[in-house]
C-alpha cells in the first residue's frame, strides 16, 4: 500500500501534460504547420477540398476560443495536406500503370 500510492501519483503526474487543454500557442503552431503543408499541396495542384474545409473549421473554432477543437482540426488538416502531397508525389510515376497501351 505504501508503495502503491507514490506510484499512482507518479503515473498521474506523468499523464498530466498530455491531458492538459490546448492553448492559443498550441493552436497557432498546429495551424502554421497545416497551412505550410496545404500551401505545398496547392503548389503541386493536388489540394484536397477536405484540407481546405478542415483548416476553416480550425480557424472558426479558434475564433470561438475553443483551442482544443481548433488544435485537433489543424492537426487533422496537416495530415490531410501531407497525404495529398504524398499522392501528388507518388502519382508522378504511378499514373502510368493505369494507361491503356
Partner 1 sequence: MKARFSLLLGAVSAALVAFALTSPHVVAADKADPVADAKAFQNFFFQKFPNVKHEDFVNGPYSMNDDMKRQWQEKEEFPPYEFALDAGKEMFATPFKNGKTYADCFPNGGIGIRQNYPYFDEKEGKVVTLELALNRCREANGEAPYSYVKDEMASLTAYMAFTSRGKPMDIKIPDDPRALAAFENGKRYFYTRRGQMNFSCAGCHVQSPGERIRAETLAPALGILNAMPIYRSEWSGMGTTSRRFVTCNSQTRAVPLEPQADEYRDVEYFLSYVANGLPISGPGARP
Interatomic CA distance for residues 26 and 60, integer angstroms? 15
| Closest distance to partner 1 from the beta carbon of 38 (Å) | 10
Of the two residues 33 and 83, which places its CB atom closer to partner 1 in the complex?
A: 83
C-alpha–C-alpha distance, residues 68 and 99, integer Å: 45
Neighbouring residues of 48: CB distance < 8 A, sequence distance ≥ 6: 41, 80, 81, 83, 84
Name the residue nearer to partner 1 (CB basis): 71 or 84: 84
Footprint of partner 1 (CB under 8 A) = 42, 45-50, 52, 80, 83-84, 87, 91, 94-96, 98-101
Q: How far is the CB of 73 from partner 1 (least distance, A)?
A: 16
Amino acid at each position: 500500500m505504501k508503495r502503491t500510492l507514490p506510484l499512482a501519483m507518479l503515473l498521474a503526474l506523468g499523464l498530466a501534460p498530455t491531458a492538459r487543454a490546448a492553448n492559443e500557442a498550441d493552436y497557432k503552431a498546429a495551424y502554421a504547420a497545416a497551412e505550410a503543408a496545404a500551401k505545398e499541396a496547392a503548389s503541386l495542384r493536388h489540394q484536397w477540398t477536405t484540407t481546405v474545409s478542415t483548416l476553416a473549421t480550425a480557424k472558426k473554432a479558434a475564433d470561438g476560443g475553443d483551442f482544443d477543437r481548433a488544435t485537433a482540426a489543424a492537426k487533422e488538416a496537416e495530415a490531410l495536406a501531407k497525404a495529398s502531397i504524398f499522392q501528388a508525389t507518388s502519382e508522378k510515376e504511378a499514373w502510368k500503370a493505369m494507361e491503356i497501351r
